[in-house]
Chain A
């Protein structure tokens, strides 16, 4: 350990080569998260689900819609896009919230639980930057998880039931190309819809050092919101629930798409994500890190 090298200290007092804006690059954070088992499990589930659903249809025969149940599932085997939408419908309510809650809820809390958080902060990675990097990577992972599901479902569905137009028992049919475009839109919509859960999970993640607590809290919120959403007596109050818009995309699956519910869902998701995100930043910035 030679001792004579001179250090050109910056005016900020930082070591040479240190720039706050270069700390915790997204690539690094992605690598840190990517090799985790839970990441693979989540992606695995997203890939496996369409196959499982297909297998279930293969074993159990063509699905029959329950009374009042959405016809999307009843028409699941009509074509590849039909299958993709049916899978998306099954996953909409709750399943898609889980990976999002996991990626966002776990991101800071797991670092705290491993004690690696304090080393990152002392590196130093500025707190806002650390949260921003983690948020971005979690968003990227969530996007992959949420988008991979319809993509795989479309692949599995097309292989099993062929490429054809989307049959909508309620409103005729849509050409396959249009339907595939809508599928992409719907997938993106669902991703944005999850942002409210994501924001809440991130906030929880800064509040606790227990990753399970943060993830569980966010999933709990999704469940609670889902339950409240079923209480029709709440009327239009339900419009303000974080998960209210999760099925609104079904309304655009018709020749004359109704975007009202989707716009409402986007509005709530963005609003809640902003508030929860701000709470996360506010709390994390001033937090005493004692983990």
Chain B
């Protein structure tokens, strides 16, 4: 665990629920990753001399994690952060152990169950301890060795643990790779930047160590002194002096230098993965920068990772850092050449919030080269502002607020929680501000900006100023990136080079940059002596802002399915369309039949089963043809299959067998030949919200044919709707709709007109008119097919008949042929004896003008056919019958069809 005050933690936990959730997920991932291998933990307490050669000893509590196998494997030492203990590292230790490492964790002196005073990673104390742990690892048979007593070992840790990794690598050549995180390079610079005491952080640092929650015993000579300080006596004194004076002194500087990896900079020659937090006012990015430059100068591979976390909080990206650390060790401890250790430089940027993912989105930007805080390129932005006087208040109170332990994270929270409130605050009169013009284009700052400021100090005390660079939005909202501030100590009036904090920040176009120099800051000691400084910019002064053009946002990799799914879907869609019944049908379209071209309609072997049935037919093996100029009646009782047949004629339903040809062209769904057919099938079909006229108009336009071909006037005449034509169809009566529908069928005067039960719902007058219309229509050589279940209906208008029942053809031919001749008469009689009938038949046959006589079969009576010549009128026949004493009850035309009809449908009627 990094050094992080509990206050910070609580704030973070309480406020950034999303981040906590993320952290939770991380923990699960870490403990669950590769969980197949059981990891065993072996605890052991080492007793070590307090300092080399000392008679006092300290106890160091350790844990050793293995998967229990005997294969020699590289070892990793995991160091905990300030205020923590070895237990903090257990999860990561198990993770690494599962990935093929022997992992050792330990509680540093003064933490956890380890005894001794905190020596702040002193070379003769903490570093010596780690060297002894390396000795121990060097004797383990299950640890890979590079030589006698030289185990293959890497060290990783954050903050306090990061520094020990650097220091040990500098002091002990047996260390092979390190991965320090959010740690210091130069403790003097971290705690006394430019000689200004970072009092708040130092206080937190020393008091956490002093009164922290550690429950270890305090053996040894260090122990707790009278003030509760658990550091070594020397360190306690350094802190007390600094806290009182606000300045460092040579003794302190020397002591802190010992604990700084900077002191062994030339000896750290191992591959180093440097992770530094962007939210870190304690160990800012400049510490990592110095670290990277020094180690790179030694020729060792270095990668720099600016993570989103740091001592000020924020997302520590534990999972990502842990994964990257593993890759680093895989590459440099296991020497696995195939491992990608990631880019030489990576920055985590906040991309905002992903609603779909329900969390803050971080995007990485990376470059193949670490640009340092000076950048690979630079942009200059001119600053402007009058000379300003800055007062240093007596006692340095009240102070401006910028970086307060934990506030960096809070500053980001401010954004997250919806406030545009900047948490940084400058006291009026205590700061000078110089502002740029709005930026013409966005500016991605990566590094530490610089500017030259003219400072006039009065008095003898050195002036202390705090420089910060705000991002000012057009609406005046100010943001201090990562709440960072650089202190500077000015000893004499004159121009001062100011290096502002290193950050990665995107200044949007239209935003301004504001340089603020304040005399106070909550986090730092500043002179108590009241003073007034005069600050100004030389004309033409510009901020120099480092940039790195090579640093590009990692393209968030879209999942593969994003491309695959539409492709698969397209293939599936094509497959769906080219297969299926309709498609196959279209390929085997039967050709135009020249022989049938003159025939408006030819139906051959037409069959259609009921839906879902295999042997019940709505229409079965129906064949008939219609000649030009005929008015064909399709006659049959309800359910005979008339409508089904008509639907097949229209291509609305597909026959199971057989064919329909219109004018020689086979009928399929939407066959062009249907344009020569007008139809009224099973009731009207109109858009109820449109008027009758609009319906006809739009229907005709839907056919796409020229307007002149419609002959609307004639159709409207048939419809005979008068003013109702302009009313919406929904207001029409059944008869009106019927007439409109027939009118619609007649639009364009089709060569074949199909009317299904056209007189249904019409009154007798209209029925008569309809018959006339049909007759007239056919008179011009056009063909009409009329279906009906009433014989009388078709008999009067049709020239030909097709009679159907139960889906089968019963009869087809001219009306007269089917309905019987007018010459054939049925003479209805009362009961007659067989002899009487025979004699009557015999007598009648003798008469002139009688063609044939037969007894009626269905009822008592005689069937008499008169000669066509009309030699004998019906009246004459009647006279003869009466003469023969036939008990005539009635005389009328013999309707063979109707008889057949009744016989066939009798059961149902």
Interface positions of A (Cβ within 8 A of B) = 1-4, 7, 9-25, 28-29, 31-32, 35-37, 65, 70-71, 74-75, 114-127, 129, 165, 167-173, 175, 239-240, 244-245, 247-248, 250-251, 253-258, 260-261, 263-264, 267-268, 270-272, 274-275, 277-279, 281-282, 285-286, 288-290
- Which among B418, B582, B705 is the interface contact of A285 at CB below 8 angstroms? B582
- Once the chains bind, are A12 and B673 in contact (CB under 8 Å)? yes
Docked Cα-Cα span, A170 to B686, in Å, equals 55
**Separation in Å of the B369 CB from the closest CB of chain A?**
23
Q: Is the CB of B650 within 8 A of A256?
A: no
Q: Which residues of A contact B563 (CB under 8 A)?
A: 267
Given A18-B672, A28-B701, A124-B674, verify A247-B355 contact (CB < 8 Å). yes
Pick from A1, A31, A255: contact of B508, CB under 8 Å: A255
Task: Please tell me which one of the listed residues A35, A264, A282 contacts residue B577 in the complex, with CB atoms under 8 A apart.
Answer: A282
**In this assembly, does B573 line the interface, its C-beta being within 8 Å of a C-beta of chain A?**
yes
Given A264-B562, A278-B572: A119 in contact with B744 (beta carbons within 8 A): yes
Asked whether, in the complex, the Cβ of B356 is within 8 Å of the Cβ of A244, the reply is yes
Chain B residues closer than 8 Å to A169, beta-carbon distance: 415, 417-420
Please tell me which stretch of B448-456, B662-670, B810-818 contacts chain A, meaning at least 4 of its Cβ atoms lie within 8 angstroms of it. Answer: B662-670
Q: Give the nearest-CB partner of A15 in chain B.
A: B675
Q: Which residues of the other chain, A, contact B474 by a CB distance below 8 angstroms?
A: 165, 175
**Which size class do B's interface residues fall under?**
35 or more
B6 within 8 Å of A (CB atoms) = no
Among the stretches B381-389, B745-753, B846-854, the one at the interface with A is B745-753
Q: Nearest Cβ in chain B — how far from A123, in angstroms?
A: 5
Write the nearest CB–CB distance from B476 to chain A, whole angstroms.
11
Taken together as a complex, chains A and B put the C-alpha atoms of A286 and B580 apart, in Å, by 8
By a CB distance below 8 angstroms, the chain B residues around A75 are 418
Q: Do A12 and B665 touch across chains, with their CB atoms under 8 A apart?
A: yes
**Of A3, A18, A171, which one neighbours B704 at CB under 8 angstroms?**
A18
B673: chain A residues at CB < 8 Å are 12-14
CA distance in complex: A100, B676 (Å): 37
State which residues 537-559 of B face A: CB under 8 Å: 553, 556, 558-559
Would you call A264 and B576 a contact (CB within 8 A)?
no
A171/B687 in contact, CB under 8 A: no
A23 to B508, CA, bound (A): 54
* Residues of chain B in range 603-662 having any CB-CB distance to chain A below 8 Å: 611, 647, 650-654, 662
CB distance from A102 to the nearest CB of B (A): 15
Residues of A within 8 A of B684 (CB): 115
Q: Are A278 and B352 in contact (CB under 8 A)?
A: no
Contacts of A10 in B (CB 8 A): 672
- Residues 668-717 of B contacting A (Cβ, < 8 Å): 669-677, 679, 681-690, 694, 698-699, 701-706, 709, 714
Contact B352 A286 (CB under 8 A): no
A120 CB contacts on chain B under 8 angstroms: 699, 702
B510 is an interface residue with CB less than 8 A from chain A: yes
Question: A127–B353 contact, CB under 8 A?
Answer: no
Bound form: Cα–Cα A257–B685 in Å: 52
Q: B204: which A residues are within 8 A, CB to CB?
A: none
Judging by beta carbons under 8 Å apart, are B698 and A254 in contact? no
> B834 at interface (Cβ–Cβ under 8 A)?
no
State in angstroms the CA–CA spacing of A255 and B361 once bound together: 12
Within B351-379, the residues touching A (CB, 8 Å) are 351-357, 361, 363
Taking the nearest CB of chain A, how far is it from the CB of B658, in angstroms?
A: 15
Residues B676 and A15 in contact, CB atoms below 8 Å apart: yes
Interface status of B570 (Cβ within 8 A of chain A): yes
List chain B positions with a Cβ less than 8 A from chain A. Answer: 349-357, 361, 363, 415-420, 473-475, 477, 479, 506, 508, 510, 553, 556, 558-559, 561-563, 565-566, 568-570, 572-574, 576-577, 579-583, 585, 592, 611, 647, 650-654, 662-665, 669-677, 679, 681-690, 694, 698-699, 701-706, 709, 714, 744, 748-751, 776-777, 779-782
| Measured CA separation A158–B594 after assembly (Å) | 70
How many Å lie between the Cα of A268 and that of B561 in the bound state? 9
Decide: B671 and A124 in contact? CB cutoff 8 A: yes
Report which of A251, A264, A285 forms a contact with B669, defined as CB distance below 8 A.
A285
Given the known interface contacts A23-B704, A172-B473, A251-B354, the answer about A13 and B361 at a Cβ–Cβ threshold of 8 Å is: no
B776 to chain A, nearest CB (A): 6
Most buried by B among A10, A122, A175, A268: A122
In the bound complex, residues from chain B placing their C-beta under 8 Å from that of A282 are: 576-577, 579-580, 582-583
Closest to A3 in B: B780
Closest to B749 in A: A1
The contact sample of 14 A-B pairs, CB cut-off 8 A, is A12-B665, A25-B701, A114-B685, A123-B699, A124-B669, A125-B670, A169-B420, A255-B508, A258-B354, A271-B565, A271-B569, A274-B572, A282-B579, A282-B583
Say yes or no: A20 contacts B354, CB within 8 Å.
Answer: no
CB proximity of A196 to chain B, nearest CB, Å: 10
Shortest Cβ-Cβ A-B pairs, 9 listed: A3-B780, A22-B704, A115-B685, A254-B352, A169-B418, A13-B673, A271-B569, A278-B573, A13-B665
Which chain A positions have C-beta within 8 A of B704? 17-25
Q: Identify the interface centre among A20, A36, A115, A118: most chain B CB within 10 Å of its CB.
A: A118
Give the complex CA separation of A198 and B672 in angstroms: 30
Partner of B418, one of A15, A71, A256: A71
Known: A7-B751, A35-B690. 14 other contacts (CB 8 A): A1-B780, A21-B704, A70-B355, A118-B652, A121-B651, A123-B675, A256-B506, A258-B351, A260-B354, A267-B562, A271-B568, A275-B573, A278-B574, A278-B576
Residues of A with C-beta under 8 A to B352: 168, 170-171, 251, 253-258
Q: Is the CB of A4 within 8 A of B566?
A: no
Q: How far is the CB of A167 from chain B (nearest CB, A)?
A: 8
Q: Are A123 and B665 closer than 8 Å at their CB atoms?
A: no
Q: Does A17 contact B356, Cβ atoms closer than 8 Å?
A: no
Q: Which residues of A contact B665 (CB under 8 A)?
A: 12-13
Assembled-state Cα–Cα distance A285/B665 (Å): 20
Which residue on B lies nearest to A246, using beta carbons?
B356
Q: CA separation between A22 and B701, bound complex, in Å?
A: 9
Complex Cα–Cα for A18 and B356 (A): 52
Residue of A12, A124, A248, A256 ringed by the most chain B CB atoms within 10 A: A124
- Please indicate which of the listed interface residues A1, A173, A279 has the most CB atoms of chain B within 10 Å of its own CB: A1
Q: Within 8 Å CB of B585, what residues of A?
A: 286
Query: When the two chains form their complex, are residues A12 and B355 in contact, meaning their CB atoms are under 8 A apart?
Result: no
Would you give the shortest CB distance from A136 to chain B, in whole angstroms?
A: 14
Q: Identify A170's interface contact among B415, B576, B662, B781, CB under 8 A.
A: B415
Among the listed A114, A261, A271, which residue makes an inter-chain contact with B354, where contact means beta carbons less than 8 Å apart?
A261
With contacts A123-B675, A250-B355, A270-B569 taken as known, whether A175 is within 8 angstroms of B699 at the C-beta atoms is no
Measured CA separation A290–B685 after assembly (Å): 13
Across the two chains, which residue of chain B brings its CB closest to A169?
B418
The answer to whether B356 and A248 have CB atoms under 8 Å apart is yes
Chain B proximity of A220: nearest CB distance (Å): 22
CA of A118 to CA of B674 in the docked complex: distance in angstroms? 12
Residues of A within 8 A of B669 (CB): 121, 124, 126-127, 285
CB-based contact A264/B559 at 8 Å: yes
Nearest residue, chain B, Cβ from A122: B650
- What is the CA–CA distance of A35 and B415 in the complex, to the nearest angstrom? 50
With A and B bound together, what is the CA distance between A268 and B558 in angstroms?
13
Nearest-neighbour CB distance to chain A for B288, whole angstroms, equals 24
Judging by beta carbons under 8 Å apart, are A118 and B650 in contact?
Answer: yes
Residues of chain B within 8 A (CB-CB) of A256 are: 349, 351-352, 363, 506, 553
- The residues of B that contact A281 with a CB separation of less than 8 Å are 576-577
B577 with A18: CB separation less than 8 A: no
CB distance from A25 to the nearest CB of B (A): 7
Contacting pair A285 B580 (CB below 8 A): yes
Do A289 and B672 touch (CB < 8 A)?
Answer: no
Set A19, A28, A121, A251: member contacting B670, Cβ < 8 A: A121
Q: Is the CB of A116 within 8 A of B687?
A: yes
Kindly state the separation between the CA atoms of A60 and B632 in the bound complex, as whole angstroms.
73
Query: Which chain A residue has the least Cβ–Cβ distance from B714?
Result: A1
CB distance from B669 to the nearest CB of A (A): 6
- Closest residue to B572 on the A side, CB-wise? A275
B574→A18 contact, CB < 8 A: no
Q: What residues of B have a CB within 8 angstroms of the CB of A23 in the complex? A: 702-704
